[in-house]
A and B are shown apart, each in its own frame.
Chain A
Amino acid sequence: MTLVRATRELGRQWPWVLLALAVVVFVLAPVVPLQWQALDNGAAGIRALADLPGFWDVVVMTLAIGFGALAVAMVLGTSLALAVQALPDRLRRGLAFTPALPLVIPGIAHVVGFVFLFSPESGYINAFLRMLPFFSELTTGPINVYQPFWIIMYTGINLAAFVYLFVRTGLQNLGDDFGMAARVNGAGAGRVLWTVTLPMLRPTLVYASVVVLLLSLGQFTGPLMLGRREGVDVLTTQMFALTQRYPIDYAIAASLGTPLLVVALILVVVQRRLIGDQNRFVGRGVSSVRQAPRSRVGTALATVYVVLYVLLAAVLPILALGFVSLTPYWSGNLSLELLTTKNYVAAFSEPDLLVAVGTTLLVTLLAIAVVLPLGMLVALAIYNRHRLWKPVAAVIDAGANLPLAVPAALIGFGFLFAYSLPGVRLYGTTAGLVIAYITIMLPFAVRYQLATLISVGRATSDASLVAGAGPARTFFRIIMPLGRSGLASSAALIFILLVHEFGVSVLLRAPGTTVMSVLLFDEYGGGSYPMVAVIALVMTVVTSVGVIAALIFGGTRALERI
């Protein structure tokens, strides 16, 4: 490529060059200035890490939670997807979406629900287990959700829902044909699983494990809420702790994020190498062969397995929240006599909760209003990348996907630092939070809308161009009307994710920008558990508005895109 050609391409494609620049600014703002701190003065911050008390314990704990939760999530999620696949058609249609339910519950509410179930003293399930003969000697436990092993289990159970969605989609794309072909050739169910299904799912499994490892290494909410009592710390919580001291040592806090960032970038590159173009993974989901008849025992076992998971991971935590919200104080006692609505009355008579709900909705809707059009432009660029000059398309694609790889807490901290730079008056403002939300949602907005563009189809928009319509008319007359439900369900999904958001929000918190998740965290710290439960339920209700909208516009498979 000669310089002349490059200049000409840049000149011709200037709108896309501008878009690339905008994306780069959005996604690098929270990363580059902060990492500069870590590397400044000959990487003094990074070298100081070793002297940080307990630093190596933190690294070991981060890795333990990362890989431990990965293993739990992969085994659990894959087996759930296989169990659902093993169900007869009608049962499968009814149960297929349920293992994804933990993702619909706000993360921070989910953790609190688990605390109510598995706290060693007052956890309801622990109390129930102690009534059994085997554990009757105990006064606390047997499960201690605050200990590393159970933090790993919790994280794994939570992330299993992601793995489930990936593997389920993989199985649907695979269809029943290959398995049936193996059955006809004399293989039993087990042999089919080991010789056909799992090997053919390998790309899906690799992809899922990289995504889950990224998530589990960057875990913040779980370790923060669960690890505090027994002093279990990971890199992200350690970083958060440093921001709570004044003055903040940005160099050291930034350096804590450096290893996470490096690992994340390596994983993303590895994933690209292993999988290649992600567009190949848009599902076909057709199968010409009817599935084999299911045995009754198999069906029963699979059903029990799925139902048990959903109970443990979604239903019981919500029930626990509901119960605690109706009690004067949380005691682990399931007595119905003391039930009261006074927590709700109290929560809604004070301004805190209502203000937080208002702030959450305002910031969320503003962010959606920007990130949807921005994401659409990026999606259009990626979709038409063969018509763009390669470097421009590559920058847009890589840039828009970068925030997915960076843990939310690190992005939040990055913005905190960027906003505290001289001349940037964004800290504590609504605009500041909106910008951070836009950045973290960009990859999702792009991914959802790319799927919409793919489903609308290239020939449909090409036909409009050939008929003499320009890009704008094509977009508004053809792509928008045909992609309407896809766009609406993207908006609903982003709404859900933003209402759940905690990592970025807690780092950018200020008196005027306290969203629901942060308020919940404060109340949790203050020990007012019934109030925590009320807020968690309000969050869940607000979320379900988004869930219902997503289901209406996107159908039952909409939630699988979270």
Chain B
Amino acid sequence: MKRMEVLKLLLDVKSDGVSIATMQAIPDWYEIGGGPHMHLDNQGCMGGSSATGLGIAIAQPDRRVIIIDGDGSLCMQLGSLVSIASEAPKNFFHFVLVNGIYETSGAQPIPAEDKVDFAALALGAGYPHAFTFDDYGAFARELPAIMAMEGPVLVALKVDQEPADKGVPARPHDWADALRQSLSDVA
């Protein structure tokens, strides 16, 4: 699957939810209009997106939180799967873009790139639902039903390796303010 294609599907279901994107998904997410409204980038601290999203999900239980994680990033804080399962936020939707490489740093393979099963890890950690898709049509067909589930849900999306030629845009240090303000305004 192409990353941009699956991101467009996620944008279609974002609605009034909050999105958090990681690393190389960030420029594509902005390109299709996923940010900056109701959105947060996670860069400069790989592995932090899911736990940051967990905090938002706890504080805003009536709002969907959509995490756009990477396989390399998730590996850096794999224990977060257990912490998220423990909290069991019903509004937490965790999408992991699985391309088997550290894309930003030069496409080096992640550990066990040909063996690791993120959906199985999530289920083993205690997520009630987890899925893997490598076919765009199947993912597009099942996504509405997945978004109707009670979270936490993890979806591993097997995407093509792509050149990291867009760069990750630098964001101002008031990173959190706009989203905090938006969430406050609609509270």
User: Do A and B form a real pair?
Assistant: no
